[in-house]
Amino acid sequence: MGRIDRIAEPWGTRTPYGPGETWPTRVDSYLADGLTEDDVDRWVQTASILHSNGDAYDMAVKDGQIVGVRGRAVDRVNHGRLGPKDLYGWQANNSPDRLTRPLIRRDGELVETDWDTAMDAVAGRVKELLDERGPSSIAFYTTGQLFLEEYYTLGLIAHGGIGTNHVDGNTRLCTATAAAALKETFASDGQPGSYTDVDHADVIVLYGHNMAETQTVLWSRVLDRLAGPNPPQVICVDPRETPVARAATVHLAPRPGTNVMLMNALLHEIIGNGWVDRGYVDAHTVGFDELAKRVQDYPPEVAAEVCDVPVEQIREAARIIGQAQRLLSTVLQGFYQSHQATAAAVQVNNINVVRGMLGKPGCGILQMNGQPTAQNTREAGADGDLPAFRNWSNDSHIQDLARVWNVDPMDIPHYSPPTHIMQQLRYIEEGSIRFFYVTATNPAVSLPELTRIRSLLSQERLFLVVQDLFLTETAQLADVVLPAATWGEKTGTFTNVDRTVHLSEKAVDPPGEARPDLDILIDFAHRLDLRDKDGAPLVKWSDPEGAFEGWKECSKGRPCDYSGLSYDKLRGGSGIQWPVTDEHPDGTEHIYVDGQFWAQPDYCESYGRDLVTGAPLDETEYRALNPTGRAVLKAAEYLPPHELIGVDFPFQLITGRTLYHFHTRTKTARAPQLQAAAPEVWVEMSASDAADRGWSEGDLLAVTTPRGRVEAKLRISGIRPGVLFLPFHYGYWDEPAGHEPDGHGRAANELTLTDWDPCSKQPIFKTAAANATRLAPGDGPAAAPTTTGSRPVAGDVPPTRGGAAAEAVEELATGGAR
C-alpha cells in the first residue's frame, strides 16, 4: 500500500480496469507504529467484522497480541484491499476496558463474580420461568457480528431446546428488509448478485445505498471501473449528496418516504417503452400483468411532484436502466429503514426481473446487508427464521428439521410467526417476557425511541443478560454481564452479502476470563440439561468445527447448502460462495441461472406476504399464485409516510452511518484514527435551509421530535432541502460518569419513532418529523468526516415547485399536513 492517509483517502489509490477484466490486486496493510513485517511472529487468516463487505485479511501477531493487518491478495472479495475500519479497527481488541470477568447485580450494583455463579444465575432463572410461565417468557436478541457456528447453536437452544419463538437479531434493524424482499420475489432468501457483477455491468444503480461509506472496498471496485475504459453508468437514489451521488451519471434525491412512488414511475417508463425481456418474463415469472396495470397510475410527472425530483431526471434514469445490457442493482438502508420498505425493495427486484437481468455476469441484485455476519443470522435461524431457509408454514420442513435435531416436531415452535424485536419489546412492556438474553448488541442506543427502551430494559421483573466485550449502555442495565471473546480470539466462519464464506482463525487468547460466545452458549445448554428425544445432549458439539459439521448436515439440500465446505477447504485460499455441493465443489458464483428459482411450493422458504398489511399468504394461496416456482412480480401502491411534517416539526429526519464508525462505536471509538476522524455527533442541513435561518457551519443546534432532543453541531451539506441527517453511532458509554440522557443528549435514537415495515418488521429510521433550533453560534466547522460533502451546494438544490396543481400533489404526498 502506498503511504497515503487512509482517513483522508478512504478508498485508496486507483487501479483502473475495463469490463470483463479481472480487478487488479492492491495489497493494503497497517502495522502498529514502529513495526515492520519482519517483526511479526505470525500471520493468521480472517475477514472483517466492522462492516458487511467481507474483506479478507491476515492478522499480524507479535508477543501474543494483534499488532496489525494485511489484505489477502488471493481473496475474491477484496483482492488485497482494506478499508479504514479494516486497517485500524483491530486496536479495540487490545482496549484496557475490555470485560474480563463476569458481573452480577448485587444490591443494585454490578460486581465481579466467577463463571459458575454467573451461569447458575442465568440458567437458574430460565428454569424458574419455564416452570412458572413456560417458554414464551424467554426471549433472545442477538447480533450480526457472531460466527455462523454460534448462531446455529443459539437457534438450536432457543427453538429446539427451550421451545421459544421469541428469537431475533439486531439484523432486524439493517437487513430484515433484504431477506423479506428476496422472499417476496423469489420465495427464498439468498442473494442473486455477486461482487464480480461490478466487473461486467454497464449500469450500476444504488438505491438508498451509500456504498462509499458502508462498503468502502466494494466502492473502490466501482471507482476502479469508473477510472477504466468503457466505464459503467451509475444511478444514485439518495436524498443526500454522498460520494456515490457525486460520482453518479444521474442523482435522484427524492423526499424521504416516497421510494415506492419513484420506483413505480421508473417501472412505468421501463414497461411503457417496451424495455422488457418478454421471453424471460413469460417463461419465468408470474404477476406481470398486474404490475403493468399498477404502474400505469404512476407517470413520471406525478412522481416528480410527490418526490420533488425533476421529471427529466426520472426519465433519464429509466432510459439508462431500460437500455442497460448488464444491470447491477444494489439496495440498502435508504430503502430498508423507510416505511413501505419491503414494497420499495421488491420494486427493485421487479426491474431486474422484467429486464431479464439475473443469473449471468454483470446482471444481479444485491439486497445488501448492514453487518458482517447478518447473512448467517438469517441462514442459521438466529433471527427467528428456521435454519437453512426452511419454511415455518410447511409441516414437512418442521419434520425435516426435527429429524436433524432429533427432537419431536411439536417441540419446535411453529404455531405463529417468529417474534421480531419490536414485538418482543411490546411483550416485555406487557410483562409476558421476563428473561431477555442479549448477545453482542447494544439496544439501549441502537433501537428507536430510547427513553422507552431504557425504561423497558430497567424493569425489576425483567431478568436481563448481556454478553459483550465492553460495559455498554445496555450492559450497565443488566442483571448478569458475561465477558465474551471477539474476532481474532476465537475460530468460526461467516458469510458476506454475495454468499462468500470465510474462515476466521483464532490468533490470540481473549483477555482475562473472557470466553468465546460458542463456549458460553454450550455451557448454558448443559446447565439447562437440554436433551434430544433419545436423552442425549441436544447440543452435540464442543468446538467450532464440530458446530460447522452440524450446520453442514442441517443445510444439505437447502438453498444455502454448505455440505461441500470444510475448514480445510477454507484455509489458505479465497472465500467460497455457497451453495457448495458435490455438484458445485468450488462454489456457485450466480444463482437463478436460466430462471431456475427456489420458489417451488414444496421447497420455498416463504409463501409471501401482503405488501401493505404484512399478512402472510397460506400454502393454498401461494400454490394458486405460483404452482411451478417462478419469480413473483409484486406490485405496490404508494402510501404517504406515517409521521408527517407540520408547523411544529417542519423537517424530515433521517439517520444513518458514517464511514469511520460502526454501530454504537463500542469498537471503532477505541481505534484512535477512527475516533479522531469522527469524534462527535453532527447534524446535516441543506445550504438553503441554513441560509434561510441565518445559520452557519458549526452552530450548535437542538434537533427535536415528539420523543426527545439531540444537541449537535451544524454541518452544511448537499442534503436535499427540508431534510436533516444525524449519524446514529453516538451514545453515552464514553460520557462522564453519572450522565443520564433522559430523552435528550447525542444519540439519534432519542428522536426516532416506534414503528416498522409491515412485511420485514424493520424499524423506521428515515421519516421522523423534526424541528431544529440554534442554541449557540459555532466556533468553527462541525467535527465530522469530509467524505459526505461539506461544501455549500446551493446551486444543486432542486427547483422549488409552485402553483395550485403542485400544492394539490404536495397535499397528497404529506397526507394533508402543511
- Rounded to the nearest 5 percent, the helix, strand and coil shares of the chain are 35, 20, 50
Decide: 364 and 132 in contact? Cβ < 8 Å.
no
- Tell me if domain 2-98+807-812 and domain 651-805 are identical in fold: no
CATH 2.40.40.20, applies to 651-805: yes
Closest CA to 10 of 211, 203, 199: 211
Phi-psi region of 498 (alpha: psi -120 to 50; beta: other; left: phi over 0): alpha
Helix H or strand E segment including 250: strand 250-252
Decide: 323 and 165 in contact? Cβ < 8 Å.
no
The correct CATH number of 2-98+807-812 out of 2.60.120.620, 2.60.120.10, 3.40.50.300, 2.20.25.90 is: 2.20.25.90
How far apart (Å, rounded) are the C-alpha atoms in residues 726 and 590? Answer: 37
**Class of domain 176-368+598-632 as given by CATH:** alpha beta
The length of the chain in residues reads 818
Decide: 509 and 128 in contact? Cβ < 8 Å.
no
b/e burial code for range 536-553 (CB count within 10 A of at least 16 → b)? eebbebeebbebbbbbbe
Phi-psi region of 6 (alpha: psi -120 to 50; beta: other; left: phi over 0): alpha
Decide: 571 and 503 in contact? Cβ < 8 Å.
yes
The dihedral through the CA atoms of 758, 759, 763, 765 has a sign that is negative
How far apart (Å, rounded) are the C-alpha atoms in residues 321 and 553? Answer: 41
Q: What is the pLDDT, as a whole number, of residue 803?
A: 33
Q: What is the pLDDT, as a whole number, of residue 745?
A: 82
Cell of 263: 420506483
Residue 269: C-alpha distances to residues 142, 265, 297, 775 (Å)? 42, 6, 11, 47
| Structural domain boundaries in the chain | 2-98+807-812, 105-174+373-589, 176-368+598-632, 651-805
Q: Which residues pair with 739 in a beta bridge?
A: none
Decide: 204 and 219 in contact? Cβ < 8 Å.
no
The beta-strand segments (E) located in 306-434 are 327-331, 364-367
Q: What is the pLDDT, as a whole number, of residue 146?
A: 96
Q: What is the pLDDT, as a whole number, of residue 415?
A: 84
Per-10-residue mean pLDDT of the chain, 818 residues long, equals 82 97 98 95 96 96 97 98 97 97 97 98 98 98 96 98 96 94 98 98 98 97 98 98 98 98 98 98 98 98 98 98 98 95 98 98 96 94 94 97 98 91 97 98 94 96 98 97 97 97 98 98 98 98 98 98 98 97 97 98 97 96 97 98 94 96 93 96 98 97 96 97 95 70 79 95 94 91 47 28 33 31
Identify the DSSP state of 484: B
Decide: 411 and 163 in contact? Cβ < 8 Å.
yes
Identify the DSSP state of 159: I
Quickly name the fold that domain 105-174+373-589 has. Answer: Rossmann fold (3.40.50)
